[in-house]
Amino acid sequence: MEKKNIDWGNLSFAYQPIDYRYIATWKDGVWSEGTMSDDPTVQMNECAGVLHYCQEVFEGLKAYTTKDGSIVTFRPDLNAKRMADSARRLEMPVFPEERFLEALDAFVRANAAWVPPYGSGATLYVRPYMYASGPMVAVKPAPEFTFRMIGMPVGPYFKGGAKPITIRVCDYDRAAPRGTGNIKAGLNYAMSMHAQMEAHREGFDENMYLDPETRSFVEETGGANFLFVTKDGELVTPASDSILPSVTRRSLTYVAEKYLGLKVTQRKVAVSELADFAECGVCGTAAVICPVGKVVDHGKEICFPAGMEKPGPITQKLYDTLTGIQMGDIEAPEGWIRKIV
């Protein structure tokens, strides 16, 4: 298989159509057999449910080329399961988890020429999503749904090393108590755009959302979970029912405990204790970990000792170990790597 002629070292995180996308549709209680299409456009009815009531869920994961030339995906079973959970919460049909994995294998195999080579730092970002494609106007689940899996080669989120970012404590909420904060749905992102742009206009990179019930505990940013390191080297992650269960966060906490020998705790994290932490980062598939240098809480600056120049030592070690596992340089825990080619 000949790789595409792309400047792999200079890719950004941006859409680009690739050769194939996988498509399956649901109607009358049954999923169609999936097909691979070379058409990047979608045609649908003007009254499709997704356009009116936002019945849509999605996932994000990556395919990597390892040193020995294999192509692998990282813990895709967790994405399959999370997408099923998201679908159930929005009264959408579940795309069977086993079929999700088979579709992913077929999709990556068909697009193998687009999976960046080992050492380039780039990866193939895969975006599975499902939406109400059938027409409806009364508020109820749509009569027809479409599952689609698209992808694009993307560069490392941070070229030339990760620069710590500045985050503000946000006055908007990302999720409601007992709402949909714990599922991966486009509607949560639609809500976050205004807060995101406002943060940018005020000179911040991201928002720190607080728990919507008491507004005193840390939740997450618009699209990444928080990690904190205490001055004793303990890794702390916020506990809350309205945080999206990040695959990266669940993997990093395992790596911290089993590979780096750190103590790991998941508990409520009060905004008032932020100044006690030594390091802070946010994590997700796209960036793995992005270090946070400063949190600004209504004018009050909380500067983490790790500073604004480079990630803190534990943040860096976590990043190196997890990306080493993903790229096949460090032995992975049983079941984390799904070999495709």
Ligand X SMILES: *Cc1c(COP(=O)(O)O)cnc(C)c1O
Whole-Å CA distances, 62 to 270, 300, 334:
33, 37, 18
Pairwise CA distance, residues 252 & 329, whole Å: 16
User: CB of residue 264 vs ligand X: minimum separation in angstroms?
Assistant: 16
Residue 317 · residue 54 · CB < 8 Å: no
Whole-Å CA distances, 83 to 77, 184, 215:
10, 7, 28
User: CB of residue 244 vs ligand X: minimum separation in angstroms?
Assistant: 4
SS3 of 34-94: CEEECCCCCCCCCCEHHHHHCCEEECCEEEEECCCCCEEEECHHHHHHHHHHHHHHCCCCC
Q: Locate tokens 């710590």: which residue?
A: 164
Handedness of CA 123, 282, 194, 178 (dihedral sign): positive
Looking at the Cβ atoms of 65 and 188, the one nearer to ligand X is 188
The count of other CB atoms within 10 Å of the CB of residue 173 is: 20
Pairwise CA distance, residues 229 & 286, whole Å: 21
User: CB of residue 190 vs ligand X: minimum separation in angstroms?
Assistant: 12
Looking at the Cβ atoms of 136 and 236, the one nearer to ligand X is 236
The residues binding ligand X (CB under 6 A) are 60, 184, 220, 223-225, 244, 246-249, 284-285
Looking at the Cβ atoms of 11 and 224, the one nearer to ligand X is 224
Pairwise CA distance, residues 150 & 135, whole Å: 23
Looking at the Cβ atoms of 55 and 285, the one nearer to ligand X is 285
User: CB of residue 226 vs ligand X: minimum separation in angstroms?
Assistant: 10
User: CB of residue 247 vs ligand X: minimum separation in angstroms?
Assistant: 3
User: CB of residue 140 vs ligand X: minimum separation in angstroms?
Assistant: 26
Looking at the Cβ atoms of 148 and 174, the one nearer to ligand X is 174
Pairwise CA distance, residues 22 & 35, whole Å: 6
Residue 277 CB contacts under 8 Å (≥ 6 apart), including other chains: 228, 229, 230, 231, 236, 304
Looking at the Cβ atoms of 212 and 284, the one nearer to ligand X is 284
User: CB of residue 183 vs ligand X: minimum separation in angstroms?
Assistant: 9
Looking at the Cβ atoms of 19 and 97, the one nearer to ligand X is 97
